[in-house]
Structure 1
Amino acid sequence: MPSHGGRSLVLVYASGGGICGTSGCYLLILERTPTSYRVLGNIQGWPSIRRLTGNSAYPDLSIWTQGGGVQPGYRSLIRFDGKAYRLMETTHPAAKGQILFSPQTPDQLLYP
């Protein structure tokens, strides 16, 4: 994701054998530092992943939550709490927002 208020965030959706479970795969939210990356979040869920509107240095995100006993699925809010990104355990009507990753286009850069 482009820089927001001086922050450069990188989203990595890790999938594959041994990584994913019934609740989905892992979304890593990283912040670029001068020499490396700092992990800000490790969230399990299903695509699509969206950046929600807002001007925060750490924008709100959303991810599809389903499986692992959660039926039916719903879109969950992912919010930065001052230290890390956390999955909010409430149903959130975050259906609108810029799609950052979609299963229909897994190899396409959706946010240049």
Structure 2
Amino acid sequence: MKAVTLVATALLIVGCRPGAGTGTPTEASSAADLQRPAPAATPAPGADPALTAFLQERTADAMAPLGYVAREVGEGEQALTLVYLVGPEFCGSGGCKLLILRKTGGTYAVLGDTSVTRAPVRVLSTRTNGLPDIGVRVGGGGLINGYEARLKFDGSRYPSNPTVAPAERIEGAEGVILITDEDARTSLKS
């Protein structure tokens, strides 16, 4: 019985890992589009006390381990910070949580709190209501063939779930990768 429990636990852990059960990125767009470096995207400052404080407050009750990958894209009022949260309370068989933030003064405002996303996370070449469209992988959670979904800014928020409207399935969209499964994560809780 112990062996069965150990195997079931191992399968659960592997199945919940970001990227588990997804198709290859080329299903969503060309390999060249997905592999192109993101010149406008740079790692979010690890020493940004406002981002650290914001994430610690937002995840105060979350279980460990908890980590994130953050990237900034754009400049000035159009700048966004994308945060891919990885931990037991933010990930499931369908993926993990993606926060789309805008720094306002000394804190962050949430423009998107999107569940069940998978890497790669891309900023697409298209824009809606003045902000870039975001591409995320959708897979797992019973979905056999993954795909890429476009998240459009509606004037106040990005969609909360990439598997239902207003998010839309896309193929071959141009864009640059911001976040991958291989990116080093900053730990919030160990």
Question: Is the structural similarity TM-score above 0.5?
Answer: yes
SS in 2 for 1:43: strand
TM-score by length of 2: 0.51
Alignment CA distance shift 1:50-1:64 (3 Å)? same
C-alpha contact 1:77 1:94 (8 A) present in aligned 2:
no
Q: 1:90 Cα shift? A: 3.1
1:98 maps onto 2:170 in alignment:
no
Higher strand proportion (structure 1 or 2): 1
Q: Which has the higher contact order (CA 8 A, sep 6+)?
A: 2
Which residue in the other structure is 2:29 paired with? none
% identity of equivalent residues? 33
1:65 maps onto 2:124 in alignment:
no
Alignment CA distance shift 1:95-1:103 (3 Å)? farther
Aligned residues: 106
Over aligned residue pairs, what C-alpha RMSD do you find? 2.0
SS in 2 for 1:77: strand
1:19-76 Cα offsets, whole Å, 9 max, x none, are 2011100010001101311101111211000011136631001000012232211000
Q: 1:89 Cα shift? A: 4.0
Higher helix proportion (structure 1 or 2): 2
Larger radius of gyration: 2
5+ long unaligned stretches in structure 2: 1-72, 186-190
5+ long unaligned stretches in structure 1: none
Aligned pairs for 1:82-97 (under 5 A) are: 82-86=155-159, 87=162, 88-97=166-175
TM-score by length of 1: 0.82
Which residue in the other structure is 1:47 paired with? 119
